Structure 1
Amino acid sequence: MREAHAAAQQALRVNPQAHEAVLVMAAIAIEHGNAPGAVKLCHLLRDTGHDSCWLAVLEARVALLMQDQERARERAIAALQIGTDDPQIANQLGVVLSRGGWHEQAVAPFETAAAGEPANPDMRYNLAVALQFSGDLTRAEQQFRTLIELKPDHAKGWLALAQLAKQPDEDWQDRLEALFQQERDPDARLTVGHALARLGEDKEEWDASLAWLDRAKQAKRAAVRHDRSSAEAIADAAITSAREALIAPKPEGDERPLFIVGMPRSGTTLVERILSSHPKVRSLGELSDFAILLKQHLRTPGPLVLEAALIDAATDADIGAVGRAYLERAAALGGDAPRFIDKMPFNAFFVPAILRALRGARVICLRRSPFDVLFANYRQLFATGFSYYSYAYDFGDTAHFVAQFERMADAYAQTLPTGRFLPIRYEDVIADQRGQTERLLQFCGLEWDDACMRFHENAQPVATASSVQVRSPIYTSSLEKWRRYDEGSQRAITELGKYGITP
């Protein structure tokens, strides 16, 4: 990178109008996290009248660096309209489109990238993921298989393929076990172990699958060191906020925002798909905007967004400006839809603040058997770069976190106004799809539409761990799944029993 920077500087000495050199320097600034420097260089190019796909991509990337999701999406779409044949720029464009939730639009630039550099495994992986999120599962599996042929030790590719393939190849177990033994990187070892656990589930070897998860998470668990006291403090703050915050009992004003919250893997995506199948509802995916805007407005110390201090500060502060800023961003994505959904699960901890800042908003909170949620979260490989999911590297920590959520959700159900907060059980949706769909639509102020019963035909992209499951009609095989484990079920009873939670 030093050589590239030096070459760019030399090019500018020779020709002060060398736009490519300025673009290189802006890209280097972004890689180093130097947002002000990158912004200055991008503005310099704009002032000269330069416009290109790469410049728009860099502007989108620096906006992401500055946590300005709205600007990032706008510049990413501008870059898409300009277009590019350069595989590296196309790949960057696909990444920023994906981060903005534009997964269908990301497919084309990722295809350009993979076609331009067919032996590049990372570009192949990005294309496969975009296809999966967009619902093209057959092509996604083909791309993941090609990826593994290109790079047999690609851990993320193996996990994605193990989760997606309907019929694993006979040699996968041996190849993955060998890879697990030779891998020393904690993240790669974690990923390969999750792939082996998935193969165990496919063979209904439940406790063996759980054992692979324990082995896979060991190194990462030691490095992360989840703080249970912090999780308890966050839940305590949310409970206090729900009891003390002044919240309008009925929606007032702009009623477009619908929030779906809950523990990950609790059915939030299923309910999102049911509601977004309604012609008057559009899903915006999982937005981090509300919490980030709240953090920026209240300026609590420290870098964390999910923290007790922020929830406490929002309880009685004037946060109307946060609601207005959020509506401006969300409305740009929601277009003219009478209702739009934000399905960020961990917005659950900010529900009182959401209901105060957005007086017309409604919140749907998913509840599911804490035993099934425990296993579903422990089985899931979340993004390793986010501290939100630090609990998921230890079975006991996961049980503790689930218990904190249960305690908070119970308090919400007892405290928050029923006209704006709806707790709904995943098991009830499975058992009575029609009745619970009617209940959901009534709560949202929407008339009945048969399309909600055919949610699996919904063509909107899904960028969550449920991207495969929600392409199928309702099924019951996920109910009481925790009981399939012998030793594991006893572990769950012991761990959740510490917090008074029983089967």
Structure 2
Amino acid sequence: MAKFVNAATGRTDIFDLLSARKQLFAGNFQAAHAAAQQALKADPSAVEAVLIMVAIAVEHGNGPGAERLCAIAARTGHTSCWLAVLEARVALLKQDQERARERALAASTLGTDDPHIANQLGVALSRTGRHAEAVAPFRQAVDGVPDHADYRYNLAVALQFAGELEAAEAEFHALVALAPDHAKGWGALVQLADTPAPEWDERLARLFEETTEVEARLTLGHALARLAEGREEWDSSLEWLDRAKAAKAQEVAYARSFADALADAATAARKAGNFAPRPEGDERPIFIVGMPRSGTTLVERILSSHPRVRSVGELSDFAILLKQALKTPGQLVLEPALLEAAESAEDLSKVGAAYLDRVGQLAGETPHFIDKMPFNAFFTPAILRALPGARVICLRRSPFDVLFANYRQLFATGFSYYSYAYDFGDTAHFVACFERMADALEASLPPERFLPVRYEDVVADQRGQTERLLEFCGLEWDDACMEFHRNAQPVATASAVQVRSPIYASSVEKWRRYSDGAKRAIAELGQYGLRP
């Protein structure tokens, strides 16, 4: 604790940096910042005050400022879990996944006795793909601050990703008991619970009507749609989705020209050539791509059940490295300009080498690793050029089922790439653009390196399609691939629950269960030549 003279009042005020930290974690940034500044005036070497200012800069998205302050703290010789966590968060702001992972793991090794910092550590680990490691710090956060609803939500989600479904459901129940209006908690609980309580519809409908907050209405409306589906009230569920998404669709003002330009650029890039006709060199990378909700996670789980294969999750690393190398303007990574720049680039081998160096460390000594970022589909030509040993598996699924599956899915709202999913017509248009692009890639890329796989075929003939997948990847048969649902690796996707069960066929032709909805789908997709 330190004493400072208040120049305005002449009084001696006492500023305790521990109190400043409490103000910070309570979201009172102005008070925390003032206390940290006062502390630094009295003692320029007060590292705790610097860390508080770093955290405030990160919360406000000021990456450069936060990075400068981190460097100041590091130059003092200070080492702590909190500094490492803040360095990881700064790296995430810069889209530097490699640095973020390294600092998050360093923070995990150092450890902390502060539950608020433990929560931030869990978030950093989760956002860098270390979902299993995130459970312990999230548990520490909840144990330390049991009445913090968002900390409990984070723990529940981490447990779900780690496959601890009963524990996750218990945490979600505890969350909505603690915070009855927690929209994200209700949304997750409805999705996970086997037997929804009869009163949930009324409670959630009341919450939906009472709130004007766009994100909350979006989440609650999705939950109500899921409850209606559980009663097989298909068109009622679609009505809830329309109501839930309307305000968000207005807010994002999605432009269909973006999807057209993406598909055009990816289609044109297939003509760039320079594709090794068969895998050459480092054959570790296996990319699984496709539309979200098209079966990418299912195929990932089948292949990663093989003892010679490990999944490293959904990584943005290839696209980020490509953007850094080609220096296209703007913050977006998935953008037509980057695809066009990749097409005209003579040599992408440095991008491939950087990718192997970075992701290879995550995969360890495993002979093959899977990168399952669905929208890497748009980067397929660049991937095959940059990584001559890589193979790409592209999931295809009925565009009608993909349309409903994407419209039903509540994607992360912080990513503009999913903005198409707030309007039924926009979703149909995006699906049609993807179909057009995937058709072109399938017709022209070397079959030894690009394998289209239909979701419906995997469901109908798991054994035959598994043999086909293993042959394409140069792998021998292993019975474990037929029992993918026993795979203990974490799943951080919307399919985290489904892939813990054996293959089922109930999602095939699911779109036909809708009456008015099916007519809407036929009309929307029919504009682009897609018919049942």
TM over 0.5: yes
CA distance in 1, matches of 2:323, 2:273: 18
The aligned counterpart of 1:55 is 83
The aligned counterpart of 1:82 is 110
1:341 aligns with 2:370: yes
Give the alignment partner of residue 394 of structure 2, picking from 357, 362, 365. 365
The aligned counterpart of 2:495 is 466
Aligned counterparts, 1:70-469, within 5 A:
70-317=98-345, 318-469=347-498
Provide the secondary structure at the position in 1 that maps to 2:52.
helix
Alpha-carbon shift at residue 307 of structure 1 (Å): 1.5
Q: Deviations over 1:216-248 (max 9, x none)?
A: 111111111211112111101111111233211
Alpha-carbon shift at residue 11 of structure 1 (Å): 1.4
Give the alignment partner of residue 13 of structure 1, picking from 38, 41, 45. 41
The aligned counterpart of 2:65 is 37
CA distance in 2, matches of 1:32, 1:186: 21
Q: Is the 8 A contact 1:245 1:315 kept in 2?
A: no
Q: Which amino acid aligns with 1:112?
A: Q
Alpha-carbon shift at residue 316 of structure 1 (Å): 2.9
Higher relative contact order (CA 8 A, sep 6+): 1
Alpha-carbon shift at residue 13 of structure 1 (Å): 2.7
Provide the secondary structure at the position in 2 that maps to 1:260.
strand
Alpha-carbon shift at residue 106 of structure 1 (Å): 0.5
CA distance in 2, matches of 1:489, 1:197: 16
Alpha-carbon shift at residue 186 of structure 1 (Å): 1.0
CA distance in 1, matches of 2:91, 2:332: 19
Q: Indicate the RMSD between aligned Cα atoms, in angstroms.
A: 1.0
Point out the more displaced range, 432-441 or 221-230. Answer: 221-230
Q: Is the 8 A contact 1:245 1:316 kept in 2?
A: no
Provide the secondary structure at the position in 2 that maps to 1:254.
coil
CA distance in 1, matches of 2:36, 2:262: 48
1:486 aligns with 2:511: no
Alpha-carbon shift at residue 309 of structure 1 (Å): 1.5
Alpha-carbon shift at residue 183 of structure 1 (Å): 1.1
CA distance in 2, matches of 1:409, 1:373: 14
CA distance in 2, matches of 1:206, 1:45: 56
CA distance in 2, matches of 1:209, 1:32: 37
Alpha-carbon shift at residue 65 of structure 1 (Å): 1.1
Identity of aligned residues (%): 72
Q: Which amino acid aligns with 1:204?
A: E
Alpha-carbon shift at residue 9 of structure 1 (Å): 2.0
Point out the more displaced range, 156-165 or 245-254. Answer: 245-254
CA distance in 2, matches of 1:235, 1:165: 38
Alpha-carbon shift at residue 33 of structure 1 (Å): 2.3
- Structure 1 residues 456, 412: closer, same or farther in 2, change over 3 A? same
Structure 1: segments with no counterpart, 5+ residues: none
Higher radius of gyration, 1 or 2:
2
Provide the secondary structure at the position in 2 that maps to 1:410.
helix
Provide the secondary structure at the position in 1 that maps to 2:45.
coil
Q: TM-score, normalised by structure 2?
A: 0.93
Q: Which amino acid aligns with 2:224?
A: L
Q: Which amino acid aligns with 2:366?
A: A
Alpha-carbon shift at residue 332 of structure 1 (Å): 1.2
Q: TM-score, normalised by structure 1?
A: 0.99
Point out the more displaced range, 269-278 or 323-332. Answer: 323-332
CA distance in 2, matches of 1:225, 1:32: 24
CA distance in 2, matches of 1:309, 1:47: 39
